[in-house]
Chains A and B, each alone.
Chain A
Amino acid sequence: MLQASNITFRVNGKALISDVSVSFAPGKLHLIIGPNGAGKSTLIKVLARLLRSQDGKVEYEGEDVRDASEADLARRRAVLSQAVEVAFPLTTREVVMMGRYPHFGGRPGPADEKITDELMELFDVTEFSARNYQTLSGGERQRVNFARVLAQLWRADSGTLSTSSLTPSTCRYLFLDEPLTFLDIRHQIEFMKKVRDFTDASDVVTVGVVHDLNLAARFADQIVLLNDGRVVSTGTAAEVLTAFRIREVFGVEPIFVPVNQGGIHLIFD
Chain B
Amino acid sequence: MKSNKIFIFWCALFGLIVLITVFANLFSTYPVNEMNMDKVYMAPGDGHILGTDHLGRDVFTRLLHGGKVTLTVAFGSVLLSLVIGVMYGSVSGYVGGWVDSAMMRLLEALISIPSLIFVLAFQAVMQGGMWGMTFIIGVTGWFTTARIVRSEFIRLKEADYVKMARMFGTPIWRIITGHLLRNSVTPLFVVTIFNLAGAVFIEVSLSFLGIGIPPSIPSWGNMLYNAQNDLLIGAWWIGLFPGLLIFFTVLSINFIGEMLKDSRL
A and B bound?
no
Interfacial residues, chain A to chain B (CB-CB below 8 A): none
Interfacial residues, chain B to chain A (CB-CB below 8 A): none
